[in-house]
């Protein structure tokens, strides 16, 4: 079984693929910096930092990011996407267009997906619906034994791409749990 969790954004989208109940887990993310590109891994989690695509318009950016995500989702049994944050500020219309295009491409290719509210994801991960990024990273460490900031950023903060990877991992874990209960 292939479950995919997508923390989709315009700056550093991350996508975690869990196969065989989570024993084989790979996270892909698009890195806005050269420093984040490349591969790594620790204790059953592999990660791949992809270069940020070139684009000449917002539409080109949305197409490139959604095509990247779609290519990784092919063959998925279930996909879970983090829903929009209702209190979001800034370029919310761009975010909506970007994620809407991804959802359309998934639908067009016959891929099943569901969305989960950010507060529900945080509650699933930490027990609190208002958990911040660092609380999510700590919950990931407690659940997996992997201190991702140490392995990826030399112990630095819980920002991107670590927080994006953690969110996508919990989205996939949520999808795995829901799928297993349905069986």
Quote the pLDDT of residue 6.
98
| pLDDT score of 169 | 97
- Please count the CA atoms within 13 angstroms of the CA of 8 that sit on its side-chain side: 32
CA geometry: angle 10, 15, 17, nearest 5 deg: 170
- Which residues, including other chains, have CB under 8 Å from residue 43's CB and lie 6 or more apart? 144, 145, 146
- Residues of the chain short of pLDDT 70, as ranges, are 88
Quote the pLDDT of residue 35. 82
Provide φ and ψ at 113, rounded to 5°: -140, 160
Amino acid 58: pLDDT: 95
pLDDT reported for residue 153: 80
Q: Quote the pTM value.
A: 0.95
């Amino acid at each position: 079984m292939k479950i995919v969790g997508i923390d989709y954004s315009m700056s550093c989208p991350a996508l975690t693929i869990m196969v065989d109940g989570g024993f084989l887990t790979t996270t892909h993310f698009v890195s806005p910096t050269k420093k984040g590109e490349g591969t790594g891994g620790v204790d059953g989690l592999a990660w791949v930092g992809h270069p940020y695509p070139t684009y000449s318009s917002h539409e080109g950016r949305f197409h490139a990011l959604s095509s990247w995500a779609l290519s990784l989702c092919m063959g998925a049994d279930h996909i879970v996407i983090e829903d929009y944050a209702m209190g979001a500020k800034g370029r919310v219309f761009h975010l909506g267009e970007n994620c809407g295009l991804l959802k359309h491409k998934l639908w067009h290719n016959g891929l099943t997906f569901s969305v989960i509210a950010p507060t529900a994801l945080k509650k699933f991960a930490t027990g609190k619906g208002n958990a911040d990024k660092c609380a999510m990273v700590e919950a990931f460490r407690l659940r997996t034994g992997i201190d991702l900031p140490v392995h990826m950023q030399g112990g630095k903060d819980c920002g991107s791409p670590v927080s994006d990877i953690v969110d996508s991992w919990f989205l996939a874990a949520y999808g795995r749990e829901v799928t297993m209960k349905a069986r």
